[in-house]
Amino acid sequence: MNTTRNPARLTARRVGVLMLSAFLLYGIGSTLATSAAAPAATAGAASLLLTTGAAMMLLNSAAVIAIGVLMLPILRPRAPIIAIGYLATRIFEGVVLAIGVVSLLTLSAGAVAGNFLAYNVAMAGLGIGSLFFCAALFRSRLVPRFLAAWGFVGYASFALGCVLELLGFAGAGLVSTIPGGLFELFFAVWLIVKGFNPAAITAPIAPVALSTFVSQS
């Protein structure tokens, strides 16, 4: 299929690639950056690890914000408030994660703890904001409903785990990432391979208010 004649298909692929890229950028970047604080790391190696890791984490922030920007024209005709809310969610995620990177770059005693705090705040925000995103996907049938439902459960688990982590329940955030993380990986691949449902893209659009999603939940 020629994606130049199907902008929604091109958008789906771009969102899928960005989701996969963000997953790798933050995962690898945070591992490199935090390992710079390891006692065995020499000064030169630690500096290189920190710089490389921080750069990758900042690229992740740019990628997640771009996801919200790309999804805006897809969601806005169908759920205007949710479309704007999802963009705001992704901006919040990207900015707070970037604040965590700045914390790491200070090389202070609490740098790693500061980044950990920023991560959990950002992911809690992402989880809560993405619940409405998944509800919009479910109602619009842009993707199969089982996938939207999986995302809703995954993000709810993610948000709850990160909130519990912030409240002092160590390990809750890590466990809670499993359903949400697997959803994002599967969702990304789905968008790259399948794209949005063509019937949903071409169907007459009747914008739905946020209250409709709340009343039906």
pLDDT in tens, 18-61: 999 999 999 999 999 888 766 656 677 788 999 999 999 999 99
Of 80-89, 128-137, 196-205, the range with the lowest mean pLDDT is: 196-205
Mean pLDDT across 159-183: 90
**pLDDT of amino acid 108:** 79
Q: What whole-number distance in Å separates Cα of residue 18 and Cα of residue 150?
A: 20
**pLDDT of amino acid 154:** 95
| Percentage with pLDDT > 90 across the chain | 71
Q: What whole-number distance in Å separates Cα of residue 43 and Cα of residue 87?
A: 40
CB 6 within 8 A of CB 77: no
pLDDT in tens, 72-81: 999 999 999 9
**pLDDT of amino acid 106:** 86
pLDDT in tens, 172-191: 888 888 999 999 999 999 99
**pLDDT of amino acid 9:** 94
Q: How confident is the model at residue 139 (pLDDT cuts 50, 70, 90)?
A: very high
**pLDDT of amino acid 204:** 75
**pLDDT of amino acid 107:** 78
For residue 94, is pLDDT > 70? Answer: yes
**pLDDT of amino acid 47:** 86
For residue 216, is pLDDT > 70? Answer: no
Query: Residue 165, Cβ neighbours under 10 Å: how many?
Result: 23
Of 52-61, 108-117, 149-158, the range with the lowest mean pLDDT is: 108-117
For 88, 144, 161, 196, 204, the CA distances from 210, given in Å and listed in that order, are 15, 21, 25, 22, 19
Residue type, 201: I
